[in-house]
């Protein structure tokens, strides 16, 4: 009976360790670090050929859209406008509210040698939509009951 119990314990330990290894490996492969363009340049060698996320502004005059290839090329800059990171977004549609100077969130794989993110996901932010809603709230909050 002891021999059988030892085998079960050994098999359980091996199975448990294998599961822990798979979870740790999966988390490391799917986790992404978040940067601004200036931070990305500083940490470029650390994240070379790894998945990253970058939040910044679309650099003016850098956008090229090829509708036949569904290929969007542009640069993301930091808020100060001192650092650019190039982005390639291929085989996907261009976002509707994509415009120079707009806020953008890019997710993809970074190539440090070319200072290029091959994007798998783009998310644009439309600040004007939120500013308009905020200003409407401010205007109506100053009204009294007699104004209605």
Query: Residue 98 and residue 96: Cα distance in Å, rounded?
Result: 6
* Cβ neighbours for 6, distance < 8 A, ≥ 6 positions apart: none
Query: Residue 32 and residue 46: Cα distance in Å, rounded?
Result: 12
pLDDT in tens, 94-130: 888 899 999 999 999 999 999 999 999 999 876 555 4
Contacts of the segment 125-132: beta carbons below 8 A, 24+ positions apart: 126/97, 126/102, 127/102, 127/103
The fold of the 32-132 domain, in CATH, is OB fold (Dihydrolipoamide Acetyltransferase, E2P) (2.40.50)
Global confidence as pTM? 0.66
pLDDT in tens, 2-34: 888 898 999 999 999 999 888 877 766 666 889
Distance of CA 120 to the CA centre of its chain: 9
Q: What is the reported pLDDT for 141?
A: 45
- What are the boundaries of each domain within the chain? 1-28, 32-132
């Amino acid at each position: 009976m002891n021999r059988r119990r030892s085998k079960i314990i050994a098999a359980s330990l091996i199975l448990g360790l294998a599961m822990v290894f798979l979870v740790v490996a999966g988390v490391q492969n799917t986790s992404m670090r978040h940067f601004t363009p200036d931070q990305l340049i500083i940490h470029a060698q650390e994240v070379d050929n790894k998945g990253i996320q970058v939040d910044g502004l679309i650099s003016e005059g850098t956008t090229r859209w090829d509708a036949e290839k569904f290929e969007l090329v542009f640069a993301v800059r930091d808020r100060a406008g001192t650092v650019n990171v190039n982005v390639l977004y291929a085989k996907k549609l261009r976002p509707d509210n994509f415009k120079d100077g707009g806020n953008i969130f890019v997710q993809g794989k970074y190539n440090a040698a070319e200072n290029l993110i091959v994007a798998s996901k783009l998310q644009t932010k439309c600040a004007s939509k939120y500013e308009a809603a905020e200003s409407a709230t401010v205007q109506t909050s100053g009204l009294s009951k007699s104004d209605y």
